[in-house]
Amino acid sequence: MRRIKYGKIRKFDNKQRILTIGNFDGVHLGHQAILDYCVENAKKFSLKSSVLTFQPHPKEFFNVKPNQGCIQMLRDKSMEIFSRGIDEIIFARFDKKLANTTSHEFIRNVLVTNLNVRELVIGADFRFGKSRSGDAEMLIDQGTRLGFVTTIVPEITIENMKISSSVLRNLAKNGNFASVQNLRCATLKFTGHVSHGNKLGRTLNYPTVNINVPDNLCFSGIFIVRITDNSPKKSFDRKWGIASIGTRPVLETDNKKLLEVYVLDWSGDIYSHLVTVEIMEKIRDEENFKSLDDLKFKMGEDEQVARKYIDNYNE
């Protein structure tokens, strides 16, 4: 049974593990290769396949500038990791104690004693421990003494470009979602429960389905999307829509990010339903309009752009 564990890293059970460690933001092709290797070897050697990741991200904890953004939500990242066949995801709380754990302490206490690791799977540039003092060479050396193997998975490149989460985030910031999809072999998705908004969209004749997204989501703007209702009493399977991701500068002042979807050719009430929104194409950046009339006019233009895209897509 697939499980998610949160909080302090401890001895959860006596199972032997094949473990990989990382942020896995975007679950790109490089991540997928690591996950697939773990699943394959877990089956071969009767191990539990596990992913260890940290919350908050260490860069956030140490307030490293520029701020560490994300390209997807934890729910979607978890779903995509599990879709590869992984047994377990450990979201470990990154706190002062863990930040001060030396590399040797991490190997002995976390990897060996608590997680019972028999194979550790990492990328070549993996660093860990206080002051990032540990590396792959140390893991290989210590593993021979403590009873685990360290496997380094080669980088995956496309057109001489290393695939990484930072590359994905830059592509998303620049609105290049076709390339994001190519590096993931999947559209970028956001899954969440529909929440109540201020209902202003209805007065503009553009009622929206609202989903909360992380404030550190690395991109914003207006997008062409597809939305699916995943709830048992679903109102629709998949519909086209126009989405706004951002802080709504015309309407709000708290800088909280929100995903709002105007579902084309549909109206109804799906509050609390679990929906998935797929990003297909960026229309434009978020803008600060002087009035609601200006906003409504621009939304009409966005709809024309979206319907033209959809017509071409369906040909």
Same domain, 150 and 93: yes
**Tens of pLDDT, residues 166-219:** 999 999 999 999 999 999 999 999 999 999 865 555 556 688 999 999 999 999
* Integer angstrom CA distances of residue 6 from 90, 91, 116, 201: 6, 5, 18, 37
Q: Are residues 8 and 156 in the same domain?
A: yes
Spatial separation of the C-alpha atoms in residues 263 and 269, rounded to whole Å: 12
**Final residue of a structural domain among 117, 145, 162:** 162
For residue 274, pLDDT beyond 60: yes
Same domain, 78 and 157: yes
- Number of structural domains, the chain? 2
3-state secondary structure of 51: strand
What would the pLDDT profile of 88-97 be if each residue is shown by its tens digit? 999 999 999 9
Please give the average per-residue pLDDT across 30-55, as a whole number.
97
DSSP annotation of 195 reads B
Question: In CATH, what number is assigned to the domain containing residue 27?
Answer: 3.40.50.620
Residues 196 and 146 in one domain: no
Reported in sequence order, the residue ranges of 71-128 that DSSP labels E, i.e. its strands, are 88-93, 117-123
Give CA angle at 189 (183, 193), nearest 5°: 165
Q: What mean pLDDT is reported for the chain?
A: 92
pLDDT of residue 200: 55
In a domain, 170, yes or no: no
pTM of the model: 0.93
Residues 45 and 155 in one domain: yes
Residue 114 φ then ψ, to 5°: -80, -45
Q: Decide if 230 contacts 274 (C-beta within 8 A).
A: yes
pLDDT given at position 251: 54
Question: Is 91 inside a domain boundary?
Answer: yes
- Are 68 and 22 within one domain? yes
Domain assignment of residue 283, given as a range: 187-314
| 235: in domain | yes
Angle, helices 165-173 vs 177-184, to 10°: value is 160
Q: Please give the span between the terminal C-alpha atoms of the chain, in angstroms, as a whole number.
A: 42
Average pLDDT over residues 143-164: 92
Written as one string, the DSSP assignment of 216-240 is TBS--EEEEEEEEE-STT-S-S-EE
- How far is Cα 175 from Cα 192, in angstroms, rounded to an integer? 22
pLDDT (average), residues 227-239? 94
Pair 15, 156 in one domain:
yes
